[in-house]
Amino acid sequence: MKNMLTYRSVFLVLVWSLLYSAGITKVNAQEGEKNSVRLKADYVKIMDSISYINVTAFARIDKETVDIPNIDLIFSNEFDGEEMELGKVTTNMHGEGKFILKNLNVLKPDSSSTYNIYVSFKGNDKFKRASKSLSFKDASIKANLVTKDSVNYISATLKDIATDSVLSDQLLNVQVQRLFRPLRIGEEFNSTDENGTILVPVEEGIPGVNGNLTFEVVLQDSDDYGTVKALVSAPIGTPIKDESTFDQRTMWSPRNKTPLFLLIFPNLLILGIWGIIVYLIINLFKISKSKI
Amino acid sequence: MEVSNKLVNDLAPQKFGKKGVIWTTALIIISVAGIIAYIDQVRKGQIVTNMNDYALWGIYISNFVFFVATSFVGAVTVAILRLTKNTWRTPIVRIAEIISVAAIIMAGLTIMIDMGRPDRLLNLFIHGRMQSPIIWDVIIIPTSIAVCLLILYFPLLPDMAILKKYYSETKPKLSKWYGRLSLNWTGSEKQKSIQLKSIQIVALLLIPVGFMLQTVDAWLFSTLFRVGWDSTNMGGYFISGAAVAGIGALVAVVFIVRRAYKLENYITELHFDKLGKFLVLTCLIYLYFNINEYVIPEFTSKKEEVTHLNHLYSGQFAPLFWFVNIGGLIIPIIVLLFKKGRKPLTMFFIALLVVVGSWWKRFLIVTPTLLHPFLPVQGVPESWHHYFPSFHEWTITIATLAMALLIITALVRYLPVIPIQRTADEQSLIESEKKAKP
In b/e form, how buried is each residue of B148-187, taking b as 16+ CB within 10 angstroms? bbbbbbbbbbbbbbbbbebbeeeeeebbeebbebbbebee
Domain ranges of chain B: 15-371+384-413
Is residue A290 in a domain? no
For A228-276, how does the pLDDT look when each residue is reduced to its tens digit (9 = 90+)?
999 999 999 999 887 888 889 998 898 899 999 999 999 999 999 999 9
- A177 and A201 housed in the same domain: yes
Q: Considering CB atoms only, which of A251, A280, A286 is closest to B201?
A: A280
Is residue A66 in a domain? yes
Q: How far is CA A291 from CA A12, A110, A281, in A?
A: 88, 113, 17
Query: Quick check: B139 and B219 in contact, CB under 8 A?
Result: no
- A171 and A113 housed in the same domain: no
CB contact A256 to B (< 8 Å) = no
- A155 and A203 housed in the same domain: yes
Distance of residue A269 Cα from the nearest chain B Cα, in angstroms:
10
Complex-level ipTM: 0.91
Q: Does the global pTM surpass 0.80? A: no
Query: Quick check: B380 and B52 in contact, CB under 8 A?
Result: no
Contact A280 B130 (CB under 8 A): no
Query: Quick check: B351 and B357 in contact, CB under 8 A?
Result: no
Domain boundary among A114, A136, A158: A136
Mean pLDDT of B26-40: 97
Is residue A25 in a domain? no
Mean pLDDT of A37-45: 94
CB contact A280 to B (< 8 Å) = yes
How many C-beta atoms lie closer than 10 Å to residue B302's C-beta?
9
Residue B1 pLDDT level (bands cut at 50, 70, 90): low
For B185-232, how does the pLDDT look when each residue is reduced to its tens digit (9 = 90+)?
998 999 999 999 999 999 999 999 999 999 999 999 998 888 889 888
CB contact B145 to A (< 8 Å) = no
Is residue A199 in a domain? yes
Q: Which residue of A has its CA nearest to B133?
A: A251
Domain with A181, as residue range(s), is 139-239
For B95-154, how does the pLDDT look when each residue is reduced to its tens digit (9 = 90+)?
999 999 999 999 999 999 998 888 888 888 888 899 988 899 999 999 999 999 999 999
Domain boundary among A136, A159, A191: A136
Domain boundary among A110, A136, A162: A136
Report the C-alpha gap between B434 and A139 in whole angstroms: 119
Q: Which CATH architecture has domain B15-371+384-413?
A: Up-down Bundle (1.20)
Q: Which residue of A has its CA nearest to B145?
A: A277
Q: Considering CB atoms only, which of B129, B150, B209 is closest to A280?
A: B150
Q: Which residue of B has its CA nearest to A283?
A: B194
For B334-379, how does the pLDDT look when each residue is reduced to its tens digit (9 = 90+)?
999 999 999 999 999 999 999 999 999 999 999 999 988 777 677 8
Half-sphere exposure of A72 (CA within 13 A, CB side): 6
- A107 and A150 housed in the same domain: no
Interface with chain B: mutation pick from A256, A258, A287, A291, highest number of B CBs within 10 Å: A287
AA identity, residue A193: D
Q: Considering CB atoms only, which of B129, B186, B197 is closest to A255?
A: B129
- A66 and A127 housed in the same domain: yes
Residue A240 per-residue DSSP state? P
Q: Where are the alpha helices (DSSP H) in chain A?
A: 2-32, 260-289
Name beta bridge partners: A208.
A239
Report the C-alpha gap between B144 and B213 in whole angstroms: 7
AA identity, residue B413: R
Is residue A82 in a domain? yes
Q: What percent of chain A has pLDDT over 90?
A: 65
What is the bridge-based pairing of β-strands A190-191 and A197-202?
A: unpaired
Put simply, the chain B residues between 164 and 203 with a CB less than 8 A from any chain A CB are: 183-186, 188, 190-191, 194-195, 197-198, 201-202
* Interface contacts (A, B; CB < 8 Å): 75
CB contact A268 to B (< 8 Å) = no
Is residue A72 in a domain? yes
- A144 and A132 housed in the same domain: no
CB contact A288 to B (< 8 Å) = yes
Contact B191 A287 (CB under 8 A): yes
- A164 and A104 housed in the same domain: no
Query: What is the domain-level CATH number for residue A226?
Result: 2.60.40.10
Contacting residues of A for B153, CB less than 8 Å apart = 284
Taking 60 as the threshold, does the pLDDT of residue A31 lie above it?
A: no
CB contact B157 to A (< 8 Å) = yes
Report the C-alpha gap between B79 and A228 in whole angstroms: 83
* Weakest-pLDDT range from A219-223, B11-15, B24-28, B202-206: B11-15
Q: Into how many domains does chain A fold?
A: 2
What's the CA angle centered on B391, arms B386 and B394, to 5 degrees? 85
Is residue A273 in a domain? no
Q: Considering CB atoms only, which of A252, A277, A284 is closest to B183?
A: A284
Contacting residues of B for A269, CB less than 8 Å apart = 212
Query: Quick check: B158 and B179 in contact, CB under 8 A?
Result: no
Query: Quick check: A248 and A256 in contact, CB under 8 A?
Result: no
Contacts of B209 (CB under 8 A, 6+ apart): A273, B75, B140, B143, B144, B147
Is residue A228 in a domain? yes
Q: Considering CB atoms only, which of A254, A258, A274 is closest to B143?
A: A274
- A124 and A172 housed in the same domain: no
What is the bridge-based pairing of β-strands A183-184 and A171-176?
A: antiparallel
Report the C-alpha gap between B200 and B422 in whole angstroms: 15
Give the three-class secondary structure for A120. Answer: strand
For B407-432, how does the pLDDT look when each residue is reduced to its tens digit (9 = 90+)?
999 999 999 999 998 888 888 888 78
Q: Which residue of B has its CA nearest to A265?
A: B130
Contact A276 B205 (CB under 8 A): yes
- A151 and A82 housed in the same domain: no
